[in-house]
Amino acid sequence: MKNILVTGGAGAIGRNLLKALYAQHGSQMVIAGYNRTPLTGLPDGSLSAQVDVYDKERLISVVEEHDLDDGEIYHLAALLSIAAEKDPERARRVNMGGLKNVLDVAREYDMRVFWPSSIAVFGSSAPKHNTPQNAPLDPEFEYGRNKVEGEKLLNQFFDEFEVDGRSVRYPGLLTPGKPGPGTTEYAIEMIYAAVRGEHYASPLRHDTELPMMDMRDATRAALEIMKAPKEDIKVRTSYNLSAMSFTPEELAEEIRKHIPRFKTDYKIDDLKQRVADSWPNSIDDSSARDQWGWNHRYGLPEMTEHMIAEIQKELEILRNANGGVKYG
Ligand code: AKB
């Protein structure tokens, strides 16, 4: 087994993936990459590196210093949908420029790459329900356009240079921790509000149905697609991936099974609503299931129960440490 670099280690996927990689390979083979946000809570003796993915020379020096040739990169550093819409130039630089550098380096050092795409690649020409793997890609917003370009780049590097890049189109991902500036992240905010005993004003309409996934499934998907035999990976853009779909109203109802006094109302955020309305309601991921054995484990009830329990623990720890709750 060769060494592994994770870029964007401080983000939501990065934090969870690092834990899973440490559990599988130990901390000495995994290099936790970060850029602006320093990493905290890494295991003793683990390795980390400051790496701005837009700085190719720096990326090369990290790869050489940590003996990463022939190894793997999980390239997670990216801006989410709302951040990308607010700063499209930076989004293009990080989301597309960063991936191009990673693929150039992977080509030179013979590395396998994992890179997450998103349900944001779909726009108005794609069927809303059970959106198929090969539905047309015409996203209306910057983030989705970055992801489509990224998928094309991944495909081109495979066809022309045999770079073994593997990718999944993640739906909204749910994990405890500060929610990033995305669209589906409202669901994380809602569960935090409920656990804190607060009411929640949803930025999306009560009936806005979006595809979602428990981060435990998302992390496993990344590890499984990277381990799959090369000949099983037949989609060299990105695989549709699915676990559950729900609306803000359905999530609130599920939360009330655990916290009956939880109350919501609606204060629609125009940008988030337009982005959400442009995305699918549900996803057909049969290609991933058939070709490399993808299978989700957690649905809405399991995810909600787990999130509530984990957030309760987290808030309890903060309360004990600070004499009050701090989050966000
Ligand atoms: C976002 O909402 O920006 C992301 C995504 C679905 O890619 N969570």
Best of 94, 173, 208, 245 for a ligand 1 pocket test (most atoms within 8 Å of beta carbon) = 173
Q: Is 62 in the pocket of ligand 1 (CB under 6 A)?
A: no
Give the model's pLDDT for residue 236.
98
Residue 328 clears pLDDT 60, i.e. is over it:
no
Could you tell me which residues are beta bridge partners of residue 47? 31
pLDDT at position 325:
43
pLDDT digit string, tens, across residues 71-91? 999 999 999 999 999 999 999
Tell me how far apart the alpha carbons of residues 11 and 222 are, in angstroms, rounded to a whole number: 15
E-strand stretches of the chain: 4-7, 30-34, 47-50, 72-75, 112-114, 117-118, 165-166, 168-170, 172-174, 200-202, 210-214, 239-240, 244-246, 264-266
Verify whether ligand 1 is closer than 6 Å to residue 182 (CB atom).
Answer: yes
Atom of ligand 1 nearest to the CA of 82: 3
pLDDT at 324: 52
pLDDT in tens, 285-322: 999 999 999 999 999 999 999 999 999 999 988 888 87
Ligand 1, atom 8, residue with closest C-alpha: 172
* Spatial separation of the C-alpha atoms in residues 262 and 158, rounded to whole Å: 49
How much distance in Å is there from the Cα of 66 to the middle of ligand 1?
A: 31
Q: Which residue minimizes the CA distance to atom 7 of ligand 1?
A: 118
Indicate which atom in ligand 1 lies nearest the CA of residue 279.
Answer: 6
Q: How many helices (H) and strands (E) does the chain have?
A: 12, 14
End-to-end CA, the chain? 38
Residue having the nearest C-alpha atom to atom 5 of ligand 1: 172
CA-closest residue to ligand 1 atom 1: 182
Query: Residues 46-70: what's their mean pLDDT?
Result: 94
**CA 173 to ligand 1 center in whole angstroms:** 8
Ligand 1 proximity of 80 Cβ (cutoff 6 Å): yes
What percentage of the chain carries pLDDT values higher than 90? 91
Point out the residues that are catalytic.
143
Ligand 1 centroid to residue 312 C-alpha, Å? 24
Neighbour tally for 180: CB within 10 Å: 18
Measured CA to CA, the distance from residue 306 to residue 302 in angstroms comes to 6
The pTM (predicted TM-score) of the whole model is: 0.95
Residue nearest to atom 4 of ligand 1 (CA): 182
Q: Which residue has the higher pLDDT, 38 or 234?
A: 234
Q: What domains can be seen in the chain, in order of their start residue? A: 4-170 (3.40.50.720), 174-211+243-321 (3.40.50.720)
Question: Of 210, 208, 240, whose CA–CA distance to 225 is shortest?
Answer: 240
Q: Which residue has the higher pLDDT, 123 or 26?
A: 123
Q: Is the minimum distance from the CB of 120 to ligand 1 under 6 angstroms?
A: yes
